[in-house]
A = this chain, B = another copy of it.
């Protein structure tokens, strides 16, 4: 007989904050952190009729274009609808190029269905299309589809690569160099994997550029206590919105070659370049331009995604990574590793295909596609400029140009009294500031401390994604709040 005495029922749970994986406890992710949770609560309070000094929460915390009203690209969604419900292929309402794209994707799917698993590395024809896209983008530098892995957004690829790279204990533990400020996926993944986060600081005075001397300092420092093997770059920058120059990229590659570092280039904003004189240079193209000594040796992985650029399709979790010079034995391990999770979601793979194989001149959808694409990118460029200009009119806020990506990361001066009060509350001063802004204005930003920043400096990250009118309103409110806050604590 089974025991039914009370004694068997433990008062303690198996899984508690004290017994759980401590690496997970160390994870932080500010973009969806406490401030966003409070924003969601406030929205609920507003719906329930709670009186606030504002009527809506404006979320500028996350690069979520569609949530901010950006419209999807018609062609992409037509093809996705056709793939989802192929009966529509019989309908006359869809243009021929949408139908032929859908047929091509379906033919490459098991049982001609988005519902079949794909190869774990991704659908063959999608990887081929990605390879051709990369070749066009890089002026003919060859790309082997075997080096292309489809992913669930760029995050998935980044975590997968770090998982391969991170090992060791104590002084031989893998160190991973990341820019500060950084996108907190990196610090979160490193915490989870128990790797050593090695910070190098971007130069705010020079528009968040990378300094070779700072890379050298950071690496030398790290070598004292861990085994730095990886250098991560985000270009165009998140949260800082800079676009690295060709020279800078060349320097970084030479540095990686010299110091024997594996390069991870997060290039998800490759189409988001707005500033006059700025241009996106892929790490791969520059690597090949440096000649075979570099292009045959330096290990590089580059990430792209369906979530940003002009399409902003975050919800589909589409993405790819291209690996260069990866050891063939390790590639076999990578394929094995991704096969455990079966495959990236197939609708996201289909969408990735459309991004790299968009309508071409002469095809029926070309004109509409180009119009939608150009409009979205022009609007973003306009909002990038607007954000910089208005923020720089606020005394105590200094903002670098938003050269690319989707974010402004202005420097904010906080009065000593505010810093003291925040510290008394155990809060980062810019968290204190952003939380107050949220409560008083309904604007949801992310404090700079969530991305990392030089000690004693304070920032926030805001997206440039709200519709122009709402963005202007938001910026006016930020200005008003900052002035009030400064007066209050001076």
Contact = CB atoms under 8 A, between A and B. Distances in A.
A195 to B, nearest CB: 10
A132 interface: no
B113 A13 contact: no
Interface stretch (A308-316, A383-391, A478-486): A308-316
Contacts of A68: 111
A336 B417 CA distance: 31
Contacts of A341: 152-153, 155-156, 159
Interface stretch (A139-147, A251-259, A400-408, A419-427): A251-259
A10 interface: yes
B14 A167 contact: no
A217 interface: no
B111 A29 contact: no
B261 A14 contact: yes
Interface in A118-168: 118-120, 152-153, 155-156, 159, 163-167
B24 A333 contact: yes
A488 interface: no
B109 A29 contact: no
Interface string A293-314: 1100101000000000001111
Given A9-B297, A345-B347, A109 B333 contact: no
A46 B32 CA distance: 50
Interface in A93-116: 93, 109-111, 113-116
A213 interface: no
A314 B116 contact: yes
B27 A164 contact: no
Contacts of A313: 115
A14 B116 contact: no
A260 interface: yes
Interface in A1-57: 2-4, 6, 8-10, 12-17, 19-25, 27-29, 31-33, 40
Contact of A299 (B15, B93, B185, B344): B15
B9 A293 contact: yes
A258 B3 contact: yes
A153 B341 CA distance: 9
Interface residues of A, number: 110
Contact of A85 (B78, B185, B188): B78
A70 interface: yes
B155 A340 contact: yes
Interface string A254-286: 100110111000000000000000000000000
B8 A117 contact: no
Interface stretch (A321-329, A361-369, A370-378, A446-454): A321-329
A19 B167 contact: yes
Interface string A79-97: 0111011001001010000
A72 interface: yes
Contacts of A342: 32, 153, 155, 314, 317
Contacts of A230: 14
Interface centre among A65, A67, A113, A165 (most CB of B within 10 A): A113
Contact of A258 (B8, B93, B337): B8
Nearest to A294: B9
Given A185-B340, A333-B24, A337-B24, A117 B314 contact: yes
B315 A109 contact: yes
Nearest to A119: B40
A204 interface: no
A64 interface: yes
A4 B258 CA distance: 9
A336 B115 contact: no
A315 B114 contact: yes
Contacts of A119: 40
A299 B27 CA distance: 23
A62 interface: yes
28 contacts: A2-B258, A6-B293, A9-B294, A10-B297, A13-B326, A15-B229, A15-B299, A15-B327, A15-B330, A16-B327, A16-B330, A20-B165, A20-B333, A21-B163, A33-B336, A64-B117, A65-B116, A66-B109, A80-B84, A81-B82, A84-B347, A115-B313, A115-B314, A115-B315, A117-B314, A192-B340, A317-B344, A345-B347
Given A14-B230, A68-B111, A115-B314, 9 more contacts: A10-B257, A13-B326, A17-B327, A27-B336, A29-B340, A67-B113, A69-B111, A114-B315, A156-B341
